[in-house]
Protein backbone atom coordinates (compact mmCIF):
# COMPACT_ATOMS: atom_id res chain seq x y z
CA UNK A 1 0.00 0.00 0.00
CA UNK A 2 1.53 3.30 -1.12
CA UNK A 3 1.26 6.78 0.32
CA UNK A 4 -2.12 8.45 0.42
CA UNK A 5 -2.52 10.97 -2.38
CA UNK A 6 -4.76 13.90 -1.73
CA UNK A 7 -6.04 15.61 -4.81
CA UNK A 8 -6.11 19.40 -4.60
CA UNK A 9 -9.69 19.53 -5.79
CA UNK A 10 -10.76 17.38 -2.80
CA UNK A 11 -9.31 19.74 -0.18
CA UNK A 12 -12.33 22.14 -0.17
CA UNK A 13 -14.55 19.15 0.66
CA UNK A 14 -12.66 18.82 3.96
CA UNK A 15 -13.48 22.39 5.04
CA UNK A 16 -16.59 21.57 7.13
CA UNK A 17 -14.63 18.90 9.02
CA UNK A 18 -11.61 21.14 9.63
CA UNK A 19 -13.97 23.86 10.84
CA UNK A 20 -15.68 21.36 13.15
CA UNK A 21 -12.33 20.22 14.53
CA UNK A 22 -11.38 23.84 15.29
CA UNK A 23 -14.77 24.42 16.93
CA UNK A 24 -14.59 21.26 19.05
CA UNK A 25 -11.03 21.79 20.25
CA UNK A 26 -11.48 25.50 20.97
CA UNK A 27 -14.82 24.87 22.72
CA UNK A 28 -13.34 22.07 24.84
CA UNK A 29 -10.32 24.11 25.88
CA UNK A 30 -12.53 27.11 26.69
CA UNK A 31 -14.93 24.87 28.62
CA UNK A 32 -12.01 23.71 30.77
CA UNK A 33 -11.35 27.33 31.77
CA UNK A 34 -14.98 27.53 32.88
CA UNK A 35 -15.01 24.25 34.80
CA UNK A 36 -11.79 25.30 36.51
CA UNK A 37 -13.29 28.61 37.66
CA UNK A 38 -16.76 27.33 38.54
CA UNK A 39 -16.16 23.78 39.81
CA UNK A 40 -12.36 23.84 40.39
CA UNK A 41 -12.04 20.91 37.98
CA UNK A 42 -9.28 20.77 37.04
CA UNK A 43 -8.04 22.51 40.14
CA UNK A 44 -5.53 25.14 39.10
CA UNK A 45 -5.16 26.53 42.62
CA UNK A 46 -6.70 29.88 41.69
CA UNK A 47 -9.46 31.28 43.86
CA UNK A 48 -12.02 29.96 46.24
CA UNK A 49 -15.80 30.05 45.98
CA UNK A 50 -17.31 31.49 42.84
CA UNK A 51 -18.55 35.06 43.33
CA UNK A 52 -20.86 36.31 40.59
CA UNK A 53 -20.22 39.87 41.76
CA UNK A 54 -16.75 39.70 40.21
CA UNK A 55 -15.41 39.66 36.66
CA UNK A 56 -13.84 36.27 37.37
CA UNK A 57 -17.23 34.90 38.42
CA UNK A 58 -18.99 36.12 35.30
CA UNK A 59 -16.14 35.02 33.07
CA UNK A 60 -16.28 31.54 34.60
CA UNK A 61 -19.99 31.24 33.79
CA UNK A 62 -19.47 32.58 30.25
CA UNK A 63 -16.59 30.17 29.68
CA UNK A 64 -18.55 27.23 31.04
CA UNK A 65 -21.76 27.85 29.11
CA UNK A 66 -20.17 29.38 26.00
CA UNK A 67 -17.49 26.69 25.80
CA UNK A 68 -20.10 23.93 26.09
CA UNK A 69 -22.33 25.49 23.42
CA UNK A 70 -19.43 25.94 21.01
CA UNK A 71 -18.12 22.44 21.73
CA UNK A 72 -21.38 20.72 20.77
CA UNK A 73 -22.24 23.26 18.08
CA UNK A 74 -25.50 24.52 19.51
CA UNK A 75 -26.31 28.22 19.00
CA UNK A 76 -22.73 28.33 17.77
CA UNK A 77 -22.76 31.74 16.11
CA UNK A 78 -24.24 33.77 19.00
CA UNK A 79 -22.29 31.82 21.64
CA UNK A 80 -19.01 32.26 19.75
CA UNK A 81 -19.73 35.97 19.23
CA UNK A 82 -20.39 36.51 22.96
CA UNK A 83 -17.26 34.67 24.12
CA UNK A 84 -15.21 36.44 21.44
CA UNK A 85 -16.32 39.70 23.04
CA UNK A 86 -15.46 38.34 26.46
CA UNK A 87 -11.95 37.57 25.27
CA UNK A 88 -11.57 41.02 23.69
CA UNK A 89 -12.67 42.50 27.01
CA UNK A 90 -10.23 40.22 28.88
CA UNK A 91 -7.40 41.28 26.60
CA UNK A 92 -7.95 45.01 26.90
CA UNK A 93 -8.90 45.05 30.60
CA UNK A 94 -6.67 42.30 31.92
CA UNK A 95 -3.62 42.47 29.70
CA UNK A 96 -3.28 45.56 27.52
CA UNK A 97 -4.19 47.87 30.41
CA UNK A 98 -0.81 47.06 31.93
CA UNK A 99 0.97 48.67 28.98
CA UNK A 100 2.38 47.13 25.82
CA UNK A 101 -1.10 46.89 24.28
CA UNK A 102 0.28 45.77 20.94
CA UNK A 103 2.65 43.19 22.38
CA UNK A 104 0.54 40.24 23.55
CA UNK A 105 3.60 38.14 24.24
CA UNK A 106 4.88 40.78 26.66
CA UNK A 107 1.55 41.49 28.40
CA UNK A 108 0.68 37.75 28.49
CA UNK A 109 -2.48 38.27 26.49
CA UNK A 110 -1.71 36.03 23.54
CA UNK A 111 -4.22 33.35 24.60
CA UNK A 112 -7.03 35.90 25.09
CA UNK A 113 -6.27 37.49 21.71
CA UNK A 114 -6.15 34.12 19.95
CA UNK A 115 -9.40 32.93 21.55
CA UNK A 116 -11.02 36.24 20.57
CA UNK A 117 -10.23 35.78 16.89
CA UNK A 118 -10.91 32.02 16.78
CA UNK A 119 -14.36 32.59 18.26
CA UNK A 120 -14.97 35.58 16.01
CA UNK A 121 -14.13 33.36 13.03
CA UNK A 122 -16.55 30.68 14.28
CA UNK A 123 -19.27 33.32 14.73
CA UNK A 124 -18.88 34.24 11.07
CA UNK A 125 -18.14 30.83 9.55
CA UNK A 126 -20.61 28.78 11.56
CA UNK A 127 -20.20 25.42 13.26
CA UNK A 128 -19.05 23.20 10.39
CA UNK A 129 -19.84 19.48 10.47
CA UNK A 130 -20.81 17.41 13.50
CA UNK A 131 -22.93 20.07 15.20
CA UNK A 132 -26.38 20.26 16.76
CA UNK A 133 -26.98 23.39 14.67
CA UNK A 134 -26.36 21.33 11.52
CA UNK A 135 -28.75 18.59 12.64
CA UNK A 136 -31.52 21.13 13.32
CA UNK A 137 -31.58 22.26 9.68
What pLDDT does residue 127 have? 97
What pLDDT does residue 117 have? 98
Question: Residue 99 pLDDT more than 80?
Answer: no
Question: Residue 9 pLDDT more than 90?
Answer: no
Question: Residue 135 pLDDT more than 70?
Answer: yes
Are the CB atoms for 90 and 83 separated by under 8 Å? no
Please calculate the CA angle 89-94-98 and round it to the nearest 5 degrees: 125
Average pLDDT, the chain: 90
Comparing CA positions, the residue from 68, 65, 72, 81 lying closest to residue 127 is: 72
Amino acid sequence: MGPVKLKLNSVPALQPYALAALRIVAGYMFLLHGTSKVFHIPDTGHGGALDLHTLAGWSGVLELVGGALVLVGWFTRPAAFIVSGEMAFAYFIGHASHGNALLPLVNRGELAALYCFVFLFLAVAGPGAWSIDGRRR
